Amino acid sequence: MISAALALVGALIYGAADFFGGLAAKRLRSIVVTAVAALSGLAALVVVQPLIGGEWAGPDLAWGVLAGCFGVAAVALLYACLAIGPMSILSPLTAVVSAIAPMLWGLLIDDETLSPVAYAGLGVALVAVVLVGFIPGEKVVRPSARGLLMAVGAGLAIGGFLIAVDQTSSESGLVPLVLSRATTLTVTVAIVGVLALVAVRRGQGAASVLAPPGAAETPGATSLARAWWLAIACGVVDAAANALMLIALRAGDLSIVSALTALYPAGTILLAALVLRERVAGVQWLGLGLALVAGGMLALG
């Protein structure tokens, strides 16, 4: 099934976008990175959309705006829960919930029917999501109720984004994604503006909102420029992943696409291993292997 292949590739590209965004967030506040990524992603979609075409119908525009709202909520809750920790539990929990919510919607609401092989593939995919997103540590820390709620909320918001996009018509082309990204840009820029206004009133200067909270020192000009370019790359790559996800949804089932899209941590892990020489744990390699098995099973199903 072509949709399964597109969803799996899209998941890896989502992971690459997270990798670039994570690097940028070391020098810039995460909300600033999100705003810059929204702007660059919107610019990329605006350039490509006329080449593909698409009708600007009211319902599709509304679903696009709703998807954008879900996207903002997902990013805010994800960053918040990962900051609380432990990441080794909350990260895979978010990914699993982001898969289960659309899966249930597709199977129960949209009456999608899958073969026995595909159902087995969904199970393997969920196991792979947990293993890929698991970050081994020396100590096991019990997550707080607040962290668990935020992780579940982030997963539901990601799932809501997929469900909203899935409701759009094929005649709309990339229009829903344009509206979604424009909504994200509007909300994040407003938040950055409020933060800048508060900083000015405190006598800190508007530029102080650029640095991450608790940063020990102000990054140099070269380091800061690199962070801006990473944020821009994050937005363009994320827009490409969104486009692949949209095509996969229109070619296949929401339940299958959501399960494979939830494997997005795999792209981040692989890039971190290749670029930053970070060690990939054995349990994560097992998850990556199971992800390929799940993709094959879902494609056959």
Question: Mind listing the pLDDT tens digit for each residue in 2-44?
Answer: 888 899 899 999 989 988 988 888 888 888 889 999 999 999 9
Task: Give the Å distances, CA to CA, from 268 to 12, 112, 115.
Answer: 8, 31, 31
Reported as a single tens digit per residue, the pLDDT across 144-180 is: 888 888 888 988 999 999 999 999 999 999 999 999 9
Q: Which of 23-32, 54-63, 103-112, 200-209 has the lowest mean pLDDT?
A: 200-209
Task: For residue 8, give its domain range.
Answer: 2-300
Query: In this structure, what token pair is assigned to residue 235?
Result: 């937005």
Worst-scoring range by mean pLDDT, 46-60, 163-177, 221-235? 221-235
Average pLDDT over residues 168-195: 94
d(CA 246, CA 257): 9
- The 10 Å Cβ neighbour count of residue 278 is 11
d(CA 34, CA 164): 20
- Number of Cα atoms under 13 Å in the Cβ half of residue 224: 11
* Across 146-160, 227-241, 246-260, 278-292, least confident range: 278-292
- Residue 217 φ/ψ, nearest 5 degrees: -150, 160
What's the mean pLDDT when you consider all of the chain? 85
Question: What are 277's two structure tokens?
Answer: 């020489």
At 27 the pLDDT is: 84
Closest by CA position to 95, among listed 284, 301, 296, 300: 284
H/E segment holding residue 285: helix 282-300
Q: 5 Cβ partners below 8 Å, 6+ apart? A: 295, 299
Structure tokens at 269: 């892990």
Would you say 273 and 279 are in contact if contact means Cβ atoms under 8 Å apart? yes
What is the total count of domains within the chain? 1
Token couple for 132 = 């890929």
User: What is the reported pLDDT for 200?
Assistant: 87
